[in-house]
Amino acid sequence: MAGSKYARYIFTDVKPPEKPFPIPKRIQEQREKGNYVESTWMFALDDSVAEGAFYTNCVWLWDKKGTEAVQMEVAHTHDFDETLGFVGTVRDNPRELGGEIEFWLEDEQYLFTRSCLIYVPRGMKHLPLFFRKIDSPIFFWTAGNGTAYTRTSGNEF
């Protein structure tokens, strides 16, 4: 495949950046209390990997540890449109999420127990994001029509 004309558009091992992001204090504190999500960050794609590519990230959520909901993100906005997806792996019922996720759009709370896609128009405040329960693995991804992941508000770092 290396000599193929379009092989440069196929990525099988695109990892997150070498330099890890700082871990927010709230994540550290939750983990110290035994509340965290076991996950594997699979892919990170943007303009730095493929010129002109929009940003996308893909993560496997394996299990939630502890008794309290785990807050993974804070409310924020972007100057690009974004989609998020949560897909369950319940074999006999793939629309079943196999968990429970709390998600916010502006000031409205949503509790997801079914696989879903979410569209967030540019400038719309979204999140925080809480994982309340993970009974079976959940595939989670985000993608936006910006060439890199940036925020216009809600920056934690």
* CA dist., res. 22 & res. 11, Å (int): 26
| Sequence-separated (6 or more) residues with CB below 8 Å from residue 29 | none
* CA dist., res. 26 & res. 125, Å (int): 20
* CA dist., res. 139 & res. 149, Å (int): 19
Q: What is the pLDDT of residues 8-32, one digit of tens each?
A: 888 888 766 665 667 889 999 999 9
Taken in order of first residue, the domains within the chain and their CATH numbers are 22-144 (2.60.120.10)
Spatial CA neighbour of 26 closest among 36, 16, 18, 41: 36
Residue 157: the pLDDT is: 55
Structure tokens at 114: 């079914």
- Contact by Cβ (8 Å): 97, 56: no
- Contact by Cβ (8 Å): 98, 135: yes
- Contact by Cβ (8 Å): 128, 49: no
| Percent of residues, the chain, with pLDDT higher than 90 | 76
- Contact by Cβ (8 Å): 70, 35: yes
Does 47 score more than 60 pLDDT? yes
Residue 20: the pLDDT is: 61
> Mean of the pLDDT values across residues 57-69?
97
Any idea how long the chain is? 157
Residue 12: the pLDDT is: 86
Q: Which residue has the higher pLDDT, 17 or 125?
A: 125
Residue 46: which pLDDT band, with cuts at 50, 70 and 90?
Answer: very high
